[in-house]
Amino acid sequence: MNTPNDTAIEFKNVSYSDGELQIIKDVTGTFPKGKITTLVGPSGAGKTTLFRLCNRLISPEAGEILVNGENIVSYEPTELRRMAGLALQSATMLSGSVYKNLSMPLTLQSGDLPEANAKDLLKDVGLEADYLHRNVKDLSGGQRQKVSIARTLVNKPNILLLDEITSSLDRVSQEEIETLIKKINDNYQVTIIWITHNLQQALSIGDYIWVMMDGKLMESGESSLLNNPQNNHVKLFVKGEIE
Amino acid sequence: MSYLTLSLALIFVLIPIFLSKTLKLGLEKDTIIATVRSIIQLLVVGYVLTFVFDAGNYIYIILMIILMIAAATHNAQKKGAAIKGIIWKLVGTFIFVEVLTQGILLGFQITPPTAQFIIPISGMVVGNSMVLSILFLNRFTSEVETRQDETELILSLGGTPKQAIHMSLITSIRASMIPTIESQKTIGLVQLPGMMSGQIIAGADPVQAVQFQLLILFLLLTTASVTSIMLGFLSYPTLFNKQMQMLKLRT
């Protein structure tokens, strides 16, 4: 069990429903500070909903969520969302240029992102500097995903919530992003929570893992638990018999 | 115009009924209902206005304006049913627009403080405000739905609800005001406005009629902008809660 000092996010008996449908069911668990934790599970397990709870885009109907030891409700929502940055699989873009998208987090705080910094961010995520003034309409799915990650990094979050960010990327881009995320984790001790459907990726880059199924946390611990899961449902999921 | 002469105008109602029946458009019943309703409503208004003008009492003027605002609210609220408390937002907007425009007209003595001026001008102001509200609400609810991902993206990056809804709001305000501005650009070239045409037919001096029409046009520009902007800024906060989370539109 992690102590508050080495826990980035802690869930205590958290439940969440959307209308009649219960999506998160009494989840209790921790995400260690400064580590990479992967979040795996079949479709509809509630993984993205869990992220939306961490970013406080939605609130639980029961239970408590602690971020860096403080109850999530004690933070200003804007402050929390900058601190716990979220990059979604959908990689929603604002219409206009890549630069407009990268500047957005600072524009929201009446600030300005110098072009040189924006180009550095693009380089970090494996895009050439000349992408800066391209229209997002002209980007491929993978390129949009990279811009989305770069945009989340502009706020310098100390927790990064990444939702299947490499699922639409080719192998080379996927490796570039994995290297980048590891670099961010090593250099700045940013806590990374990464939803992935790729169990190999979970084993290779994650320090810890959460396995979720049907809104419940089935098993959590070091990534190696995937090699020898205790829960029968998790065993079936690892074998690929539950998708 | 005598009632006998007016009855000949029903030929203009028989033509669409004949066309609808021939082409099986199925609009005969609606055309007849619309005709009967317009005859009854306008005749009643005619008699009520005669009474109000003769009475010369401000209470009746205020009652007429309340009636207009109630009818406009009833009509416009259907388009904004997804927004919490839309009825009071509409009532507030219509009252504000009416007080502002009449305040300027009467305060600067642009028009005399008589029922003959206050009631028709109020009718045009509230009527225009109602159309603008419908255009705005229609567009705004659709923008909120289609831009939901974008709104949540801005919230997730640390934006406030106002920043998150900004594009939906501005797009809807602009879209609802464009018809008013565009129609004013071509006015007089394509069609003569109804009020001006009415005055000219009734024998008024065309230049005098134009002056009044210009007054109304300028008035409607204020009505359009104030209605859309006020309704927009009253509506958007109900789409979020105190935790700056986006709420689902009511269905």
Domain spans of chain B, in order of start: 1-55, 61-239
Q: Is residue A122 part of a domain?
A: no
Smallest CA–CA distance from A103 into chain B, residue: B157
Q: Note down the domain range covering A189.
A: 7-91+159-239
CB atoms within 10 A of CB A23: 20
Q: Which of B147, B154, B157 to mutate to test the interface with A (most CBs of A within 10 A)?
A: B157
Q: Is residue A112 part of a domain?
A: no
Q: Is residue A32 part of a domain?
A: yes
pLDDT at A3: 54
pTM above 0.90, yes or no: no
Which residue from A105, A9, A4, A18 is spatially nearest to A59, judged by alpha carbons?
A: A18
Tell me the count of A-B CB pairs closer than 8 A: 55
- Is the pLDDT score of A1 beyond 70? no
Please check whether residue A53 is in contact with residue A24, taking contact to mean a CB–CB distance below 8 angstroms. yes
When divided into structural domains, chain A yields a total of 1
- Interval A60-76 mean pLDDT: 95
Residues belonging to chain A: 243
At CB < 8 Å, which residues of chain A contact B? 55-59, 73, 77-79, 81-82, 85-86, 88, 90, 92, 94, 104-105, 108-109, 151-152, 155
Helix (H) or strand (E) holding A142: helix A141-153
Q: Which of B147, B149, B153, B251 to mutate to test the interface with A (most CBs of A within 10 A)?
A: B153
DSSP notation for chain A: ---GGGEEEEEEEEEEEETTEEEEEEEEEEEETTSEEEEE--TTSSHHHHHHHHTTSS--SEEEEEETTEEGGGS-HHHHHHHEEEE-TT----SSBHHHHHHHHHHTTT----HHHHHHHHHHTT--GGGTTSBGGG--HHHHHHHHHHHHHTT--SEEEEESTTTTS-HHHHHHHHHHHHHHHHHH--EEEEE-S-HHHHHHH-SEEEEEETTEEEEEEEGGGGGS-SSHHHHHHHTTS--
Q: Distance (Å, rounded) from C-alpha A84 to C-alpha A205?
A: 20
Q: Phi first, then psi: what are they for A11, rounded to 5°?
A: -105, 130
* Among candidates B150, B156, B246 on the partner chain, residue whose Cβ is nearest the Cβ of A81: B156
CB atoms within 10 A of CB B29: 10
pLDDT at B186: 80
Q: Is residue A98 part of a domain?
A: no
Please check whether residue A229 is in contact with residue A235, taking contact to mean a CB–CB distance below 8 angstroms. yes
Considering only CB atoms, which chain B residues are within 8 Å of A94? 150, 153-154
Considering only CB atoms, which chain A residues are within 8 Å of B155? 57, 77, 81
Tokens of A82: 């900058």
pLDDT at A11: 97
Residue entry with tokens 């829960």: A231
As a whole number, the mean pLDDT across chain A is 91
CB atoms within 10 A of CB B153: 23
Residues belonging to chain B: 251
Q: For residue A234, give the CATH number of its domain.
A: 3.40.50.300
Smallest CA–CA distance from A105 into chain B, residue: B157
Instruction: Note whether B157 contacts A92, CB cutoff 8 Å.
Output: no
Q: Is residue A110 part of a domain?
A: no
Which residue from A232, A195, A229, A206 is spatially nearest to A41, judged by alpha carbons?
A: A195
Q: Is residue A28 part of a domain?
A: yes
Q: pLDDT tens-digit profile of A88-120? A: 888 999 999 999 999 999 999 999 999 999 999
Instruction: Note whether A92 contacts B150, CB cutoff 8 Å.
Output: yes
DSSP 3-state assignment of A110? coil
Distance from CA of A108 to the nearest CA of B (A): 6
Distance from CA of B126 to the nearest CA of A (A): 36
pLDDT at A189: 83
Q: B189: buried, middle or exposed (CB in 10 Å: 19+, 13-18, 0-12)?
A: exposed
Q: pLDDT tens-digit profile of A154-196? A: 999 999 999 998 887 788 888 888 888 898 898 778 999 999 9
Q: pLDDT tens-digit profile of A17-39? A: 998 899 999 999 999 999 999 99
Q: pLDDT tens-digit profile of B117-152? A: 999 999 999 999 999 999 999 999 999 999 999 999
Considering only CB atoms, which chain B residues are within 8 Å of A85? 156-157
Instruction: Note whether A108 contacts B154, CB cutoff 8 Å.
Output: yes
DSSP notation for B145-196: HHTHHHHHHHHHTT--HHHHHHHHHHHHHHHHHHHHHHHHHSTTTS---HHH
Considering only CB atoms, which chain B residues are within 8 Å of A55? 156
* Among candidates A59, A81, A94 on the partner chain, residue whose Cβ is nearest the Cβ of B150: A94
- Is the pLDDT score of A243 beyond 80? no
- Is the pLDDT score of B185 beyond 60? yes
Instruction: Note whether A57 contacts B246, CB cutoff 8 Å.
Output: yes
Q: Is residue A46 part of a domain?
A: yes
pLDDT at B251: 67
Q: Phi first, then psi: what are they for B210, rounded to 5°?
A: -65, -40
